[in-house]
Amino acid sequence: MPSSKVLGSIFFPTVFARRSLIATVVFVTVIGCSGGSNSEPTITAAPVDPTSTAFSTTESGPSDLTVEDLLASIERSIEEIRGIDTPPPVEHKFVDKAGMQERLAEELTDPEVLDQIVHESALFKLLGVIPQDADLGAIYDSMFGSQVLGLYDPEKEKFFVLGDDKSGAESIDTEAQLTYAHEYVHRLQDAKFDLEVIKDLATGDDMSLAISALVEGDAISVQTQYMLANYDFAELSALLESTLASQDELPDSPYFLQKSLEFPYTEGATFVSILIQLGGFAAVDAVFVDPPKSTEQVLHAEKYLDGELPVEVDIPDDAMGDGWSVQAENVMGEFFMRTWLESLGATSAGEAAEGWGGDAYAVFENGSDDFALGMLIDWDANEDAREFIAALSKSMSVNEDYSPRGNGLQGVFEAWEGPGGYLVISRWDAGDGSDRVGIAITPSGAESHELNHALTTADGLSR
């Protein structure tokens, strides 16, 4: 999810995407091939005849099953798996593709979202993760419009599923049934924990994405158990084949944005599966009460369990000097660092981003509509900072969009020219057993060196 996180906060926790369904079905079909899994110990697969339906409540067959019967059957099954009692009913709608796009367009035209997209666009272009001439709003519109299968709006207490219920229960295909199951988990979460309240606990973008991973990981885990209990290998293989075929219709999107969209589902499911192994869904409930504080805690569940909190970092508002003002400031987090490295071509991005201790970034703007970026990153240990800056330097050295500038000291002080501007990286010993890294990106070399100097002398870290 992007750092200002339209993907992770504005749509939190609504979006269930097609690629997330693919990942889930792949996981379940692998279990079907292997005969089981220890990762979901609380339920056993119960394959059914692919010519029948798991939801039929009469002996006369699926044709007598009403839409209400089908949905009620899905809801009761999800409630049983998740261990949450039936909540008050909410409005749900099955909509076609145009209807889903219309619903998403409402989100993307909200003034707050439009303002956030402006901030993200500047940030992503400075980092070089989207083209300099890209229209980020159009990219988001294309991504969501082509991938979203369902969404739940906790503020309005409504959820929408891509599908057709006008021709009876038989017209609601497997994809729509599973999407309904996923979105109904969000309804249960909202009824028990109040998702709007949980969302408001986020102190920054990185924590917002971590909370989104908890919410979506929980829904994926429940959906997976539901799939195991109600569909056989043949049904899931057919679903996977048809869903993969639809991939050809998905538009290309920048790697960074695509990985950000997938994170809450993929990494969130892994995080929640660990919690389930430790204590079932009761352990998941406990984390809803005390949600993860960073994507680091999601990526490394032991850090959540150990209570390892991010270091608070701050960048002075006047770091760029006169004529510049702060346009946006927030926290990037370990996932952001890892995905940035990956988008640049790093082959060991995961290892290089580990050991993240905390960070802050600030996007600056001047009267000429120029942008600049200052990043200050705290690391757990000296070797973590060295590994990160080495991976960043190596990835830029093999990336044709970046060229070295000046005679610095490798791994300590380096300068590069990239698509977002003149980039200066420095690493220094903070004197407490951990190195810190400063990154400055501005329109000119002089400004980047000045900003980097301001970062290295900033008294903005506390443990």
- Could you read off the pLDDT of 247-272 as tens digits, one per residue? 666 668 899 999 998 899 999 999 99
From the centroid of its chain, how far is CA 157?
A: 22
- Residue 397: CB atoms within 10 A of its CB come to 14
Question: Is there a single domain that holds both residue 274 and residue 389?
Answer: no
Residue 169 and residue 124 share a domain: yes
Whether residues 58 and 143 share a domain: the answer is yes
pLDDT band at 18 (very low <50, low <70, confident <90, very high): low
Query: Is 44 in the same domain as 152?
Result: yes
* Residue 372 · residue 324 · CB < 8 Å: yes
Average confidence (pLDDT) over 422-432: 88
Residues 266 and 366 placed together within one structural domain of the fold: no
Looking at the fold, whether 264 and 320 belong to one and the same domain comes out as no
- 287 and 319, same domain (yes or no): no
Is 303 part of a structural domain of the chain?
A: no
* 200 and 211 Cβ atoms separated by less than 8 Å: no
pTM: 0.88
Single out the residue in 294, 327, 348 at which a domain terminates.
Answer: 294
Q: How far apart are CA 154 and CA 190, in angstroms?
A: 7
Q: Are residues 319 and 285 both part of a single domain?
A: no
In angstroms, the CA 98 to CA 76 distance is 30
Same domain as 174, residue 270: yes
Phi, psi of 96 (to 5 degrees): -85, 180
Which tens digit of pLDDT belongs to each residue from 64-93? 789 999 999 999 999 999 999 999 999 888
306 CB-contact burial (10 Å; exposed 0-12 / middle 13-18 / buried 19+)? exposed
> What DSSP assignment string belongs to 140-153?
HHHHHHHHEEEEEE
d(CA 421, CA 345): 18
Same domain membership, residue 90 and residue 232:
yes
- Residue holding tokens 């959540």? 304
Which structural domain, as residue segments, surrounds residue 103? Answer: 6-294
117 occurs within a structural domain: yes
- In a domain, residue 24? The reply is yes
Torsion 414-418-422-428 (CA) sign: negative
307 part of a folded domain = no
Same domain assignment for residues 82 and 218: yes
306: in domain: no
Residue 458, in any domain of the structure: yes
Predicted confidence at residue 43, as pLDDT, reads 30
Stretch 276-285: mean pLDDT = 97
Task: Say if residue 231 is in the same domain as residue 364.
Answer: no
Q: Tell which wins on pLDDT, 43 or 354.
A: 354
Q: Does 242 reside within a domain?
A: yes
**Phi and psi (nearest 5°) for 332?**
-85, -60
98 is a domain residue: yes
Residue 32 pLDDT greater than 80, yes or no:
no
- Residue after which a domain boundary falls, among 230, 263, 294: 294
Cβ-contact 2, 8 below 8 angstroms: yes
Per the structure, how many domains does the chain have?
Answer: 2
